[in-house]
Amino acid sequence: MVYTEMSPMKYTIVSIIQVGKQNTRFLLFSEPDIYRSVKLQNGTYQIGDIYEGPHVEDAKESWIKAYVSFPRKRMMDHLVSYKESVLKDIEQGAFRGNKRAHIFSSQEKNLLINNVHRFDEELNAEFIKLQRTGELRQDFCHLTSSQAFALNFFSPLKHLKWPASIISEELGFTLEDSDFEVILDDEEETQFDYLIRNDGKPVCSIEVKYSEEDFGTAPADTRHLDKYYGIYEKWLNEITDVEEVSFFGNYQLWRNILYIVKNPGQHICFFFPRFRDDLYKKAQEIQMLCKEQYRPFIHILYADTLVERLLKSDDERVIAYYSEFKKKYLDIDSLL
């Protein structure tokens, strides 16, 4: 059923329902508890945007149920509560011309600074570096930003040179140098959220997820097929027996994992909160499709696991900082 409204309602895009070669179907929400759906051209809208256009349709009960039970809604409610009740920030920030409670009025506000006074200089330095290189994403001001999640988590550890016991016990290797938003191959163009090096060589790339509903997919169009046959096919045939269709359905996962073959000895780590067990299952599924000799190079790690270890540190700065990180990002039911 397509709804024709005299005055178009203002909806928030809250979830992705289906992705096709050309169009994406989104779930829309408007107060009080009104759910609709709309099919839009790929790349024109994303979750969190406001939609006021035509062609709004009914939303199936199964779509609504999936969204309500999905941790994103609980996470969003928690983050807004954290912003307003803990940070005492009631300003609604703007993104793409729309003001929303889950958006800060400036990007800097999404750094874990001032309220804990522990790693302000280190966080600011990494933030400014991303600004200078043009790698700071527009949606960094969103409380749901995975880039902000990554910057807030890894910056203190980068400054502290990654306490050896944490890394050696969880991932099995030591670290010397690291950086955010790194492209190792300008032709292939995969950008790693965080990259760790030893002796100048990449030893582990980390793909960070927080609020995204899934790992990225790609259409099997001419451009992506040319890239597949020109670059990815030879690596894919080395690491797994999966078919081309599975590759595009799990495009982001495979693009990261294939660096195990491209750069022998490099590890890949998928990193997200424990409440995202849906991502864990997906990453584990793809890991098991890899040939057995490559699986030890693929790590799936909950942020909570490292935070639990960090909270046992002897360094009071670390305990105070990661207690606040846990409150903001991981304990999504604590303030509701």
Q: How confident is the model at residue 79 (pLDDT cuts 50, 70, 90)?
A: very high
Examine the pLDDT at 280 and tell me if it is beyond 60. yes
- Residue 168 pLDDT greater than 70, yes or no: no
Mean pLDDT of the chain: 86
DSSP, res 22 = S
Q: Average the pLDDT over 247-265 and give the result.
A: 92
Per-residue model confidence (pLDDT) at position 85: 92
Q: How is the chain split into domains, by residue range?
A: 2-69, 98-330
DSSP class per residue in 29-89: EETTTEEEEEEEETTS--TT-EE--S-EEE--HHHHHHHHHSHHHHHHHHHHHIIIIIS--
Confidence at residue 111, expressed as pLDDT on a 0 to 100 scale: 95
Residue 245: per-residue pLDDT? 66
pLDDT of residue 165: 54
DSSP helix/strand/coil, 19: strand
CB 204 within 8 A of CB 267: yes
Q: Which of 79-88, 179-188, 215-224, 282-291 has the lowest mean pLDDT?
A: 215-224
* pLDDT grade for 175, boundaries at 50, 70 and 90: low
Residue 44: pLDDT band with limits 50, 70, 90: confident
Q: H or E stretch including 27?
A: strand 23-30
